[in-house]
Structure 1
Amino acid sequence: MSFDLTFECVLDLRCEVAESPVYDERRNCLFFVDIGRSTLHRADLSGANHVEWRLEGGACSLGLARSGRLVLAQRDGVVLFDPESGAIARQIAAIEPERPDTRLNDGKVGPEGAFWVGTMHEVATDRRPIASLYRLTQTGAVERKVENIVCSNGLAWSADGAVLFHSDSRGPWIDRWQFDPATGELSGRRRLVNLDEATGRPDGAATDVDGNYWSAGVSAGVLNRFSPEGRLIKAHPFPVPAPTMPCFAGPDRKTLFVTSLRPADSAKESRAGGIFVARSPVAGAVVHRFDDRLL
Structure 2
Amino acid sequence: MSLTGAFAALADTGCAVGESPLWDATRQALLWVDIPVGEIHELTPATGARRLWRLEGPVGSIGLAADGRLVVARRHEVGLFERATGVYETLAQVLPPDPELRLNDGKVGPDGAFWVGSMHDAPRREPRGALFRVTPEGLVERRRDGLFTSNGLAWSADGRTMFHSDSRGCWIERWGFDPATGAMSGQTRIATPGEAEGRPDGGAVDALGYYWSAGVSAGCLNRYAPDGKLDQRIPVPVPAPTMPCFGGDGRLYVTSLRPAGGAAGPVLAATAAVTGAACALFAAGAL
TM-score bracket, shorter-length normalisation: over 0.9
Name the structure 1 match of 2:94.
Answer: 95
SS of residue paired to 1:11: coil
Name the structure 2 match of 1:68.
Answer: 68
Name the structure 2 match of 1:242.
Answer: 240
CA distance in 1, matches of 2:286, 2:182: 18
Instruction: Please say if 1:264 is aligned against 2:256.
Output: no
User: Could you give the per-residue CA deviations for residues 59-94 of structure 1, whole angstroms, max 9, x where no partner exists?
Assistant: 110000000000000011011001111231x11001
How big is the shift at 1:99? Answer: 2.0
Pairs aligned (count): 287
Answer yes or no: is the 8 Å Cα contact 1:11–1:47 preserved in 2: no
Mark the runs of 5 or more structure 1 residues left unpaired by the alignment. none
Answer yes or no: is the 8 Å Cα contact 1:10–1:46 preserved in 2: no
SS of residue paired to 2:268: strand
Q: Where do residues 11-160 of structure 1 align in structure 2 (5 Å cutoff)?
A: 11-46=11-46, 48-88=48-88, 90-125=89-124, 127-160=125-158
Answer yes or no: is the 8 Å Cα contact 2:3–2:274 preserved in 1: no
Name the structure 1 match of 2:169.
Answer: 171
CA distance in 1, matches of 2:265, 2:2: 28
How big is the shift at 1:46? Answer: 4.6
SS of residue paired to 2:112: coil
Name the structure 1 match of 2:281.
Answer: 289
SS of residue paired to 1:81: strand
Match of 2:251 among 255, 271, 292: 255
Q: Where do residues 205-220 of structure 1 align in structure 2 (5 Å cutoff)?
A: 205-220=203-218
User: Could you give the per-residue CA deviations for residues 201-260 of structure 1, whole angstroms, max 9, x where no partner exists?
Assistant: 000010001000000000000011010010111110000100000000125xx3111000
AA matched with 2:279: V
CA distance in 1, matches of 2:226, 2:69: 32
Task: Report which stretch shifted further, 200-209 or 44-53.
Answer: 44-53
- Relative to structure 1, is the Cα distance of residues 223 and 47 closer, same or farther in structure 2, using a 3 angstrom cutoff? farther
Match of 2:266 among 271, 274, 286: 274
Percent identity (aligned):
51
TM-score, normalized by length of structure 1?
A: 0.94
AA matched with 1:220: A
Which runs of at least 4 in structure 1 moved beyond 3 Å after TM superposition? Answer: 1-5
How big is the shift at 1:15? Answer: 0.7
Answer yes or no: is the 8 Å Cα contact 1:71–1:80 preserved in 2: yes
Mark the runs of 5 or more structure 2 residues left unpaired by the alignment. none
TM-score, normalized by length of structure 2?
A: 0.97
RMSD in angstroms over aligned alpha carbons? 1.4
CA distance in 1, matches of 2:47, 2:281: 23
CA distance in 1, matches of 2:196, 2:4: 20
AA matched with 2:142: R
SS of residue paired to 1:36: helix
SS of residue paired to 2:277: coil
CA distance in 1, matches of 2:96, 2:50: 32
Answer yes or no: is the 8 Å Cα contact 1:77–1:97 preserved in 2: no
AA matched with 1:260: S
CA distance in 1, matches of 2:25, 2:2: 28
How big is the shift at 1:101? Answer: 1.0
SS of residue paired to 2:80: strand
How big is the shift at 1:36? Answer: 2.1
Q: Where do residues 176-191 of structure 1 align in structure 2 (5 Å cutoff)?
A: 176-191=174-189
- Relative to structure 1, is the Cα distance of residues 198 and 175 closer, same or farther in structure 2, using a 3 angstrom cutoff? same
How big is the shift at 1:5? Answer: 4.7
User: Could you give the per-residue CA deviations for residues 101-133 of structure 1, whole angstroms, max 9, x where no partner exists?
Assistant: 1100000000010000000001112x1111100
SS of residue paired to 1:289: coil
CA distance in 2, matches of 1:2, 1:67: 33
SS of residue paired to 2:10: strand
SS of residue paired to 2:15: coil
CA distance in 2, matches of 1:97, 1:32: 26
Name the structure 1 match of 2:224.
Answer: 226
Answer yes or no: is the 8 Å Cα contact 1:119–1:152 preserved in 2: yes
Task: Report which stretch shifted further, 55-64 or 108-117.
Answer: 55-64
How big is the shift at 1:163? Answer: 0.5
SS of residue paired to 2:269: strand
